[in-house]
Amino acid sequence: MQLEEVRAEHRRLGGKPLPDLAHIAWLISPHDRELLTKWGAWLDALASGQIPPLTPGQLHFLAVHRGEVEPETQFERIWIEVLTVRKKLEEERITWKARGNSGSPSTPPMFYACPSCGMVGSNCTCGRSWY
């Protein structure tokens, strides 16, 4: 793929939501949802190798994705949150199926909304230790 084609693919993916955003949106903050609505497809494509990195920042993002370095940017921190939420939901789905259930759990029991701010897990904005 030529450099201009790669750049065009990067631009095409910008402004598109994370493919599974509807499944994880209730577990992330409104600010993170907004960012993932605009850049989620691009981050997902970069992380999955669908598009190659073009900048040192994108190479660092991939190193964060692989767990080689700590996140430094907002995009990297949000991406780690996406990976964490996906992993927790997959673990809950596996447990759900292992118990002989069909389909998927509607609300994984490990997640509860804070009674004060309504956010889930580390997204609690009021600082209460409730989960």
CB 75, CB 39: distance < 8 Å: yes
pLDDT of 131 above 60? no
Q: Given pLDDT bands bounded at 50, 70 and 90, which one contains residue 126?
A: low
Q: Given pLDDT bands bounded at 50, 70 and 90, which one contains residue 21?
A: confident
pLDDT of 60 above 90? yes
Task: Report the distance separating Cα 26 and Cα 22, nearest Å.
Answer: 8
Strand, coil or helix: what is 46? helix
pLDDT of 125 above 90? no
Q: Dump pLDDT digits (tens) for 82-106.
A: 999 888 888 877 776 777 766 665 5
Q: Is the pTM of this model over 0.95?
A: no
Q: Given pLDDT bands bounded at 50, 70 and 90, which one contains residue 130?
A: very low
Task: Report the distance separating Cα 40 and Cα 79, nearest Å.
Answer: 9
Residue 120 — φ and ψ, nearest 5°? -115, 140
Domain residues of the chain, as ranges?
3-105
